[in-house]
Structures are given as structure tokens and as C-alpha cells.
């Protein structure tokens, strides 16, 4: 049984899965809820589980600096305390897996993870879900739409609102990510690629930029 965690963006996600199915999955769509809601959600799910936990799989980024730190802290604490292996799941790969059942024609799958303004975190995958490029921070311009693509992720709404409908561009609705995370976690376990919990850091992609200090 694998614990699945995602705090990389505005949605707090948590679930349990085994080798054959997603056992439980919850998503909390509340702003700034990670620090308050994640630990109780994990505790409740583990208390109700019938099987013993054997691994932890955490979305490693790219995404929110603060959110990633919250998830990493909890995951590391559980991994140390329970002596469990921990696996890092790139959000771009999770989104590519989520897109596969929705792909109808040939074309690239390109995750869109919301960053600032017209910038997204993204990577390129083929229509089999195989990675073609590394994660990058990209400012979207008209030239981005010159080849057919399937776009998926929380960055899609702002891109669609700014650029509208484009020939060959498919804007995909973002489904609950439980099954995609299960697939990504099983793939990581199969490749026997746990992280070094002591030294691992989330994949921030960009250097943290603190906001302005609040006045007293």
C-alpha cells in the first residue's frame, strides 16, 4: 500500500493505492489549506486502511515553494518514523498520465502548471506518455501553438483565456489525479528508484522569490 501526496499547487491531494487499484482519494480545493488539512487527512486515511503502509509517493514539483515544503516535511517525517521508502513523482509526468485516456489523435502532450503571469512549468511528452524534454519554466507566446498539442493542468484556463481556440490545440479538463498518481507511483516502485530521504529536496525549478513584507 502506497500513500500518495500532492501539495505542489493550490489543491491539497492525498490518497492510498495498491498494485491493482486506487483505494481512497481526497482533494481539498481550499486556498492555503495544506498546512492545516494535510496531516489530519493522512492520519484519517491511514487509520481506516486495512493494509499496512509500505511506501510513500510525493509529487516532487515543480510548483509552489511553500506547498512543496509542507508536503516534503510530512512525507520525510513519515518515511523516517515508519522506515519506509519514499518516491518522488514529477507533476509533469502525473499530468501526462492523466491526459492519456483523453488523447484522441496524434500530437504532443504538454502539461501546463500555473506559474506567474503567462508563464507555466511544462515539459513535452508523446501520445504514449513518454517524456521528450525536461521540465522548464516557459512564457507562452503565439509561436507555442504552431504544432498540435494536448494541454492539461491548472495553467490551462489562463492560457485559453488569453489565446483562445487554436487549430490543433486541445484544452483538456483536469480530472482528479488519483489514478494518474497511482500509475506514476507504481512505475517508480517497479524501477526501484526510491529517493535518498536525508538529502532530497523538492524540484522547485525556479529560485524562491519572497513577496513583499507585510506592514505591522
pLDDT of 52 higher than 50: yes
Is residue 94 within 8 Å of residue 153, measured between CB atoms? no
pLDDT of 207 higher than 80: no
Q: For residues 89 and 193, which has the higher predicted lDDT (pLDDT)?
A: 89
Q: pLDDT tens digits, residue range 114-169?
A: 998 899 999 999 999 999 999 999 999 999 999 999 999 999 999 999 999 999 99
135 vs 133: CA distance, rounded Å = 7
pLDDT at 32: 83
Write down all domains in the chain, each with its CATH number in brackets.
2-90+176-190 (3.30.420.40), 92-171 (3.30.420)
* Average pLDDT of span 32-36: 91
Q: For residues 211 and 6, which has the higher predicted lDDT (pLDDT)?
A: 6
Q: Identify each DSSP E strand in 37-134 by its residue range.
A: 55-61, 86-90, 108-111, 113-114, 119-122
Amino acid at each position: 500500500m502506497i500513500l500518495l501526496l500532492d501539495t505542489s499547487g493550490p489543491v491539497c491531494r492525498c490518497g492510498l493505492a495498491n498494485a491493482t487499484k486506487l483505494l481512497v482519494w481526497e482533494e481539498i480545493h481550499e486556498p492555503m489549506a495544506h498546512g492545516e488539512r494535510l496531516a489530519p487527512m493522512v492520519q484519517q486515511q491511514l487509520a481506516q486502511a486495512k493494509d499496512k503502509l509500505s511506501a510513500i509517493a510525493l509529487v516532487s514539483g515543480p510548483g509552489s515553494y511553500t506547498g512543496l515544503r509542507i508536503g516534503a516535511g510530512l512525507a520525510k517525517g513519515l518515511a523516517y518514523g515508519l522506515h519506509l521508502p519514499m518516491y518522488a513523482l514529477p507533476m509533469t509526468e502525473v499530468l501526462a498520465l492523466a491526459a492519456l485516456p483523453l488523447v484522441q489523435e496524434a500530437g504532443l502532450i504538454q502539461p501546463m502548471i500555473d506559474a506567474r503571469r503567462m508563464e507555466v512549468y511544462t515539459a513535452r511528452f508523446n501520445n504514449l506518455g513518454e517524456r521528450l524534454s525536461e521540465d522548464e519554466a516557459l512564457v507562452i507566446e503565439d509561436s507555442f501553438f504552431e504544432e498540435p498539442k494536448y494541454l492539461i493542468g491548472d495553467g490551462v484556463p489562463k492560457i485559453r483565456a488569453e489565446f483562445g481556440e487554436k487549430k490543433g490545440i486541445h484544452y483538456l479538463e483536469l480530472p482528479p489525479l488519483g489514478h494518474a498518481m497511482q500509475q506514476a507511483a507504481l512505475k517508480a516502485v517497479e524501477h526501484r528508484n526510491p529517493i535518498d530521504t536525508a538529502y532530497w529536496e523538492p524540484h522547485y525549478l525556479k529560485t524562491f522569490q519572497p513577496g513583499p513584507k507585510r506592514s505591522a
